[in-house]
Amino acid sequence: MFKPVNRHVLIKNRVPKNETETPMGILLPEDFKPTEERYVCTAVLDWADDIRFKLSIGSQVVVDSSMIEEITVNNTTYSIIQDNYIVGII
């Protein structure tokens, strides 16, 4: 299991979207990049001991999506974010 340190929070992995087809079945060009929401809501899985606020497993947090880091270790991908990019707790 991955244990975050240095004020990082382990969050639920983002689900990759199928970017080549719209909900109505329209095919899009391969180089098309849909605009992503700047802030997303995700679940907390674990956190470093030195974060600056209280969390609990399963807490829903609003984060700056551009600051989510994805790390792959031993064929497992983890999504982490530093605590200062969490803008709210729901």
d(CA 84, CA 44): 14
* Choice between 34 and 64, residue whose per-residue pLDDT is larger: 64
What pTM was estimated for this model as a whole?
0.78
Residue 79, pLDDT above cutoff 80: yes
pLDDT of res. 44: 97
Q: Is 74 left (phi over 0), alpha (psi -120 to 50) or beta?
A: left
CATH numeric code, 1-12+39-90: 2.30.33.40
Domain ranges of the chain: 1-12+39-90
Do residues 73 and 87 touch, judged by C-beta distance below 8 A? no
Pick the closest to residue 13 from 48, 65, 56 (CA basis). 65
CB atoms within 10 A of CB 67: 12
pLDDT tens sequence across 14-30: 755 555 555 667 777 87
pLDDT in the model for residue 11: 97
Quote the CA–CA distance of 42 and 90 in Å, as a whole number.
10
